[in-house]
Chain A
Amino acid sequence: MTAGSNGGLDEAIGRRRFLGYVLAAPTLVAAAELAPPAPAADARLPSPELTELLDLTDVMTAAALPTSGLISVEVNPDGTVSFALPRVEVGQGITTSTAMLIAEELAVPLERVRVTLADARPELVFNQLTGGSNTTIATYTPIRVAAAIARLRLLAAAAAELGSAVTDLTMKAGMIIDRSGGGIDIGALAEKAASTKTRQVAVELTPRGNFAVIGRPHNRIDALDAVTGRKKFTMDLDIPAAKPTMVCRPPTINGTVGSVANLAEVRTMPGVTDVVVISTGVAVRAETFGQCIDAVRALKVSWKPGTAEGKSDESVLRELEAAELPLGLRPPAPTVEGKFTFYFRSNSALEPNCAVADVRADCAEIWAALKSPIVAQRTIAAKLGLPPSRVAVHVTEGGGSFGRKLFFDAALEAAEVSQKIGKPVKLMWHRADDSRQGRTHPMATSRVRVAYAGGTVLSYKQRHTSVSTDLGHGLGEIITAMAARLPVGDIGFSQTFFHLSQAMSYRFGASSQLLSETDKGFNTGSMRNVYSPDVTCARELIVDQLAARMGKDPYRFRHDFLRDDRSRAVLAKVAEAGGWGRPMPVGTAQGIAFHAEYKAVSAALVEIDCRPETVNRPIRDGVTGPRVTKAVFAVDVGLAVNPRGLEAQVMGCIMDGIALALTSSLHLDNGHFLEASWDNYFYTRQWNTPPELQIIIMPSTSEEPGGAGELGVAASMAAVACAYGRATGTMPTSFPINHGTLSFVPKPTVPPIPQSPADGLNGAR
């Protein structure tokens, strides 16, 4: 990159300039507003909607300061560049892609960019929520603006230092070099380029044609830490006196403590320091988590009923039926119809719910992987009776999320325990807790009716009925979170969310897709890709039926009815790369599906083997079932900042889609879920993984990035379902397909967690 790359007069005409700031600081700090960036010519007034919202509360005075909502890139004297990302890294690779954006604009090696996660920053209002596959879309421009301003300042400082014109300078590998080849490291300029007062600066961004980092595959910046065990998750933090803490939980969903018969006795158990009743159960703090497990198991608690008392899969299905919206009169034309059932699923990450809390009389400190840290801060402050400004919320890197970390259940609990016992705690949910009392993807049904005549599809109607999805994390800001807790507000928000996320990608005439929700008694949340896997799976299965009825090949039919070239291109790509239509043995088949969301389009082709010798292959304590033997996935997300990271996200989405279609669900029985282990809840394992996998990232058709973290789940699940239907000759209508068979012996609910085995040395391999 050269200084001239943002200079040439003819090139500059028509190119957008962005406003940012250089901040008063001892070293160079350049910043940009994280709010949607506006071209320099635009007025800088906040939108009326935002003003209204701010007027609703008196807590947002800080937001009035012109620089309060900034994100900043800091150049350090050691030549490194620091950036605190107001999002959480949970595996999706955003610290890496963020470092790439900064490395691009500053021409520094990626290794010199230090991306950390910002503490809760209430002044960011809507802008500290990690979700909706939105991080890259929202931060792509602001981060580059900040870095570009730092570049301008460094070039100006270097020009003075080297006695060169800025136009004669080149930035390369963290150095600024003049025409004579003399150079100076950006670290040596960090203080000279600093500003004594905060100033607004206009800047142009590196044009796409000059990208040297963005759009090229890069390995993760935290990979070395991950493979050496040095990567620190919440439970790995060494916070003084924060001792292991667990909670004895009720046998049914959200039950509460009636009384405890042996509190004093359990307090004297080896290693135990504290036992206290809290709102969700009985908390135990001990020297080790092993001793917490012993104490939790020893507690004799009488429990009060929960919020789903007596309910089962069957009773919830009846509730859903009662809440169904009508499909209307059947039109006077041939129709294809179907009703599909999707059972509860767990969005547990491998790292269970956990948090560290140190609550003092007048302040508190929290550490947790939080996707909505501002809401967490406000809610915890309210629970503790402290002003939010006295609650520091540190966002740690998370061991997966899949929607789970949108909520902060463990952080709230940890704060409560710490306050009650007056000591710091390191609180962790047992796996059984995480599975039985943790958040779930709600059970849902989807009804579809399509009418057609000749070669034309006249109408498409889909009525999705679901146990309520808790969207109480709102848009990451306390105002909307409170609105979502109002009955009307929440329904309105869910409907809005549903409509915004469900595109009708096919030319199917008059189309309507509606959501109806019922029953708020379950702990639910937005599991990866939220409504789309179920909605798309139902639609694509019906599309296969429709194609058959109209005498068309499933691929050709989709290709003919998709709305645009970009959509047809991904579909054609998987058909070609996956060898659509190749002869397959009886009991095996291909399936193909399409999904559009997050400004992106995607298509999946899978091959499945449903022959008895495969379905019944022996795996100890594992669900085998049909095997997806090949998966081909094509994705067009617009500009892919890091294609290798995108590929990783798609790979994970494919594994999720396979699990949702074939193996993973929670069984609700008498007010509790039966699953309490990874050998009960059958997420995809190595023996379910397709041995053949190809992920194709389409040449970018856009200047802007789309979302990727959740995109691939829907088409994957749908393609697996379609393949299963074609291999077995029967369209599946209930998911996952093995839900009717309980493949494990449920663990007891009292005590709520199992003891660790003691025979581990026998299994040495």
Chain B
Amino acid sequence: MPEHTFRVNGEQVTVDVAGDVRLLWVLRDILGITGPKYGCGINVCKACTSHINGRAVNPCAIPVKDLRPTDEVTTIEGLPATVGEDLHPMQQAWLDHDVAQCGYCQPGQIMAAVALVRRVAAEGREITDADLDGLRNICRCGTYFRIREAVKAGAENM
């Protein structure tokens, strides 16, 4: 079986699995990293949203063989360490606004929100309603309004 080496949440890992197995299953079923959730497996619901080299991706749509040894995968579990804190400002905003209901989509929501704020900041502008409308992550509990509030609040502290 081929080996695949990449970095996850600051640590180098090597997994022994067929190269077409999607990263989501490598994370969840082999490495036991369960923050990224399954919601569709076809890159639609965005519940598995994580970062690769700081940009938002959906591990359900990435064959593990596509990763290079230097690629840094960040899941919700590794997000606080990217800012050297116990909680990332976006997670704190989520707590302040009591966003989560069932919580299943929230790791993906937070990772998508962080990437959105970084992208908007790189463009040198503020978050707009159109940006928020563009978040595709499903929340079947429907806590969308609190998500919008929290993204704006989290952005202030990023």
Contact = CB atoms under 8 A, between A and B. Distances in A.
Contacts of B66: 758, 760-761
Contacts of B23: 760
A290 interface: yes
A227 B17 CA distance: 30
A656 to B, nearest CB: 6
B143 interface: yes
A350 B45 contact: yes
Interface in B49-92: 52-53, 55-63, 66, 75-77, 80, 87, 91
A206 to B, nearest CB: 25
Most buried by A among B35, B38, B55, B57: B38
A678 B138 contact: yes
A270 B100 contact: no
B8 interface: no
Interface string A638-676: 000000100010011111100000000000000000000
Contact of B98 (A219, A348, A621, A765): A219
29 contacts: A227-B106, A227-B110, A228-B77, A229-B34, A235-B34, A288-B26, A289-B41, A293-B41, A351-B39, A351-B102, A352-B38, A399-B103, A400-B101, A400-B104, A652-B143, A653-B142, A683-B138, A685-B144, A686-B133, A686-B134, A757-B60, A760-B22, A760-B61, A763-B43, A763-B57, A763-B61, A764-B55, A764-B56, A765-B119
Given A223-B98, A678-B44, A693-B145, A349 B140 contact: yes
A144 interface: no
Given A689-B145, A763-B43, A244 B59 contact: no
Nearest to B64: A290
Given A223-B94, A226-B103, A288-B17, A684 B144 contact: yes
Nearest to B142: A655
Contacts of A398: 102
B4 interface: no
Contacts of A756: 22, 41-43, 60-61
Given A271-B21, A678-B45, 5 more contacts: A229-B75, A235-B28, A351-B37, A761-B62, A763-B43
A131 B39 CA distance: 24
Interface of A: 90-93, 219-220, 222-233, 235-236, 238, 244, 270-271, 287-291, 293, 348-352, 397-402, 428, 430-431, 619, 621-622, 644, 648, 651-656, 677-679, 683-687, 689-691, 693, 753-754, 756-761, 763-765
Given A219-B95, A683-B140, A238 B104 contact: no
A350 B56 contact: no
A219 B44 CA distance: 30
Q: Interface size class for chain B? A: 35 or more
Contacts of B22: 290, 756, 758, 760
A229 B76 contact: yes
Given A228-B91, A398-B102, A686-B135, A761 B147 contact: no
A678 to B, nearest CB: 5
Interface in B102-158: 102-107, 110, 115-116, 119, 129, 132-148
A92 B142 CA distance: 12
B34 to A, nearest CB: 4
A399 B148 contact: no
A222 B98 CA distance: 10
Contacts of B129: 691
Contact of A399 (B37, B57, B58, B135): B37
A227 B94 contact: yes
A226 B35 CA distance: 9
B142 A684 contact: yes
B61 A757 contact: yes
Contact of B141 (A91, A228, A231): A91
A228 B36 CA distance: 11
A686 to B, nearest CB: 5
A228 B77 CA distance: 6
A228 B100 CA distance: 11
Nearest to A648: B101
Contacts of A401: 102
Contact of B30 (A235, A288, A644, A763): A288
Given A236-B34, A756-B41, A761-B62, A654 B136 contact: no
Given A351-B37, A651-B146, A760 B104 contact: no
A684 B87 CA distance: 29
B100 A226 contact: yes
Given A244-B29, A686-B133, A758-B20, A350 B47 contact: yes
